[in-house]
Amino acid sequence: MRAIGYFRESTGSEQTLAQQNRAFLDYCRREGLEPDMTFADTSASNGHGSGFRELIAYVRRAGSEYLVVVPGIDSLGGDLAVAARRYFQLEGLGAEVRPMSGGADVAADIVALWNAQDGNRLSERVRAAMRRKAVKGEVLGRPPYGYKVGARRRLELIPEEAVVVRYIFRLYLNEGLGIRLIARRLNEEGLKTRRGGNWSMVSIRDILRNRVYLGTYSRFGVRVPGSHPPLVSADDFRVVQDRLNARRTSYNPRVTSQFLLSGVAQCGYCGNRLIGVSRKQSWKRKDGERVENSYRYYQCESRTNQSVCSYHTRRAADLEKEVQRLLGAALASGEAFRQPRDEGDALADYERERDRLRGRMRSIDRRIERYVESAAKGRLARDNLRKLMTSAAADRLAVEDALEVVETRIGDHAGAAERVAARERDAKGLVERWDAMTFAERQSALREALLRITVTDDAVDLTLRS
């Protein structure tokens, strides 16, 4: 079997890159492996991991016929969260990862190390300082809805928001409305979130679950009862939690499914984005045989999470094929990409997209940390951890791909005419090689070609980047 070596140089490393390379060759000799290629990241890379990105690209081309050999788990990243993410990224691409230091089950070793080292997410010095502030009841981070940071950094009521919080609890507790109907009621009455947006199921659930409304401040494992004015009684809060828990009869970890048009497609009626949804249905035939099928489609997020607008459902495969057809027709007409804008506007678009992608990466990283921490605390089974981590790692990899494209565009920002020509060339390549491209390549190319896809029940409209 052919082996690929990956090494990482760090300030506290006991071995140089050259020594790690020799150890890799010795290991291959002992194990009867054929060394094929090596990749490395130096300490000067500042954690950007260009060598690891090259490794990912190589594995994508090579497929699962390779074994990725590393000195140890810690060689995959500067902290355990990064190492875990990279391990599952490689595994998700079909490659086997083997540490020379031993250990047959890398995922189990990651969980064990997480337990021992508390995930290495924060230095002990920072954690201790935050804990000292939390003990005093001082607000850390953004205050929850209904409160503001007041004197001595304690939470103080915002009267107009406090009224809404009490209203939400009353609707759930006294009027028996579910989370979706509460969101609809607030939106129909014109009540807005702190940022001026519509209420969603997630935002309502977060409020109903938040113990801060009992007057208790909780951060970094520290609880300070009576630190600020409560908005709900302990008895009412307990009843709400019991009802919420009763509705949740079972827990099946949700594996995220990737959708090609996520982040680009929007509802033509309300302007909100379309989200991808996967559903399974099963039924019995007349002969008694049970049949199961999976369905993937896009629907309006406003309806799903805020109970406004309508679902406006489109089958995923049909919508994606229609986008391919329309893009091909636009290119064939010769009118695509013919409206160059000011250089500064185009660059600003790239920079905004870069910032959005970086935010998305941070969100996925937090998700990965939560999964490993749940497994370390025994709340998540090993098989479910593998499914969730592989899915999250794949999401992170897709965002990394998109970010790499955006950063390359920013770094090599050309004149308007050159940019239009390059975009048209890439779009033609996308249409011609659609089925041959990987999911990540196709999604990245689509986001480069299209500013948005506006979808109504009987039409699809493409807005090309100019």
Place 216 in a pLDDT band, splitting at 50, 70 and 90: confident
Question: Do 66 and 107 lie in a common domain?
Answer: yes
Determine the pLDDT at residue 169: 95
Higher pLDDT, 177 or 101: 177
Place 93 in a pLDDT band, splitting at 50, 70 and 90: confident
Question: Do 292 and 386 lie in a common domain?
Answer: yes
Q: How does pLDDT run across 58-71, given as a tens digit for each residue? A: 888 876 567 899 88
Residue 406, CA atoms < 13 Å, CB-side half-sphere: 23
Q: Are 435 and 299 in contact (CB under 8 A)?
A: no
**pLDDT for 80 beyond 90:** no
Place 266 in a pLDDT band, splitting at 50, 70 and 90: very high
Note whether residue 260 is domain-resident: no
Question: Do 228 and 284 lie in a common domain?
Answer: no
For residue 138 the two structure tokens come to: 């001082």
Final residue in a domain of this structure, among 247, 282, 309? 247
Q: How does pLDDT run across 294-317, given as a tens digit for each residue? A: 889 999 988 877 777 888 899 999
Q: Which residues contact 13 (CB under 8 A, 6 or more apart)?
A: none
Determine the pLDDT at residue 126: 41
Note whether residue 58 is domain-resident: yes
Note whether residue 353 is domain-resident: yes
Q: Are 146 and 120 in contact (CB under 8 A)?
A: no
**pLDDT for 124 beyond 70:** no
Number of domains comprising the chain = 3
For residue 46 the two structure tokens come to: 């500042």
**pLDDT for 380 beyond 70:** yes
For residue 42 the two structure tokens come to: 């130096």
Question: Do 79 and 137 lie in a common domain?
Answer: no
What is the C-alpha to C-alpha distance for residues 194 and 172, in angstroms, rounded to an integer? Answer: 21
SS3 per residue for 416-435: HHHHHHHHHHHHHHHHHCHH
What is the C-alpha to C-alpha distance for residues 294 and 297, in angstroms, rounded to an integer? Answer: 10
Taking all residues of the chain, what is their mean pLDDT, rounded to a whole number? 82
For residue 381 the two structure tokens come to: 């089974």
Note whether residue 253 is domain-resident: no
Specify which residues 155 forms β-bridges with: 149
Specify which residues 300 forms β-bridges with: 274
Question: Do 328 and 431 lie in a common domain?
Answer: yes
CATH number at residue 59: 3.40.50.1390
| First-to-final CA distance of the chain | 48
Note whether residue 282 is domain-resident: yes
What is the C-alpha to C-alpha distance for residues 407 and 411, in angstroms, rounded to an integer? Answer: 6
Burial class (CB in 10 A: 0-12, 13-18, 19+), 102: exposed
Question: Do 16 and 153 lie in a common domain?
Answer: no
- Widest Cα–Cα separation across the chain: 72
CATH number at residue 158: 3.90.1750.20
Q: How does pLDDT run across 448-466, given as a tens digit for each residue? A: 888 899 999 999 999 988 6
Q: How does pLDDT run across 386-399, given as a tens digit for each residue? A: 889 989 999 999 99
What is the C-alpha to C-alpha distance for residues 135 and 148, in angstroms, rounded to an integer? Answer: 18
Residue 165: which domain range?
125-247
Final residue in a domain of this structure, among 220, 247, 274? 247
Q: How does pLDDT run across 330-350, given as a tens digit for each residue? A: 888 876 776 545 555 777 888
Final residue in a domain of this structure, among 90, 105, 120? 120
Q: Are 166 and 182 in contact (CB under 8 A)?
A: no
Question: Do 163 and 190 lie in a common domain?
Answer: yes
Determine the pLDDT at residue 322: 94
Question: Do 418 and 293 lie in a common domain?
Answer: yes
Q: Which of 134-148, 301-315, 353-367, 429-443 has the lowest mean pLDDT?
A: 134-148
Q: Which of 69, 81, 11 is nearest to 35 (CA)?
A: 69
Note whether residue 112 is domain-resident: yes
Note whether residue 319 is domain-resident: yes
Question: Do 170 and 60 lie in a common domain?
Answer: no
What is the C-alpha to C-alpha distance for residues 367 and 279, in angstroms, rounded to an integer? Answer: 22
**pLDDT for 117 beyond 70:** no
Question: Do 95 and 175 lie in a common domain?
Answer: no
Question: Do 106 and 201 lie in a common domain?
Answer: no
Note whether residue 259 is domain-resident: no
Burial class (CB in 10 A: 0-12, 13-18, 19+), 61: exposed
Q: Note the pTM of the prediction, 2 decimals.
A: 0.46
Mean pLDDT, residues 194-205: 87
Residue 348 belongs to what H/E stretch? helix 343-376
Question: Do 369 and 434 lie in a common domain?
Answer: yes
Amino acid identity, residue 454?
A: T
